[in-house]
Amino acid sequence: NPKLIDQSRRNRIARGSGTQPQDVNQLIKQYDTMAPIMQAMAGKGPGDRMRAIQQLQKSLMADPTGGGIKTKKGTGKRLTPKERAKLKKQRDKDLRRRRRGED
């Protein structure tokens, strides 16, 4: 179970295999990504497996970074000039208050 491999063990695995700890972390991340896919394919027949593999290949071609699962988050709503001025005033006020408290 890769969730049981803590950072010190990952470092030990990296030293023993002659690789960098980042490589071990990347391998574990790849395993975590692929494990559910392989489990889903385990109960299917050969034709269903081939279709699933083709769909996986299409999704990887669309996003070669492998980040197809993640979705882009919104940037939030745009502030009006009044709202921006109010936020700036509040930040300045908080900054002055912090500076007075530290001096």
Residue 85 falls within a domain, yes or no? Answer: no
Residue 80 falls within a domain, yes or no? Answer: no
pLDDT at residue 70 is higher than 60: no
For 72-88, how does the pLDDT look when each residue is reduced to its tens digit (9 = 90+)? Answer: 556 667 888 899 899 99
- Check residues 43 and 9 and name the one with the higher pLDDT: 9
Residue 49 falls within a domain, yes or no? Answer: yes
Residue 93 is predicted with a pLDDT of 92
Residue 29 falls within a domain, yes or no? Answer: yes
Structural domain that includes position 35: 2-69
- The count of structural domains within the chain is 1
Residue 82 falls within a domain, yes or no? Answer: no
Residue 103 is predicted with a pLDDT of 53
When the pLDDT of each residue in the chain is averaged and rounded to a whole number, the result is 80
Mean pLDDT of 32-52: 79
Residue 101 falls within a domain, yes or no? Answer: no
Residue 21 falls within a domain, yes or no? Answer: yes
pTM value > 0.85: no
Contact between residue 52 and residue 44 where contact means Cβ atoms under 8 Å apart: yes
Cα gap 60→58, rounded to integer Å: 5
Residue 102 falls within a domain, yes or no? Answer: no
CB contact set of 24 (below 8 Å; sequence gap of 6+)? 10, 11, 13, 14, 17
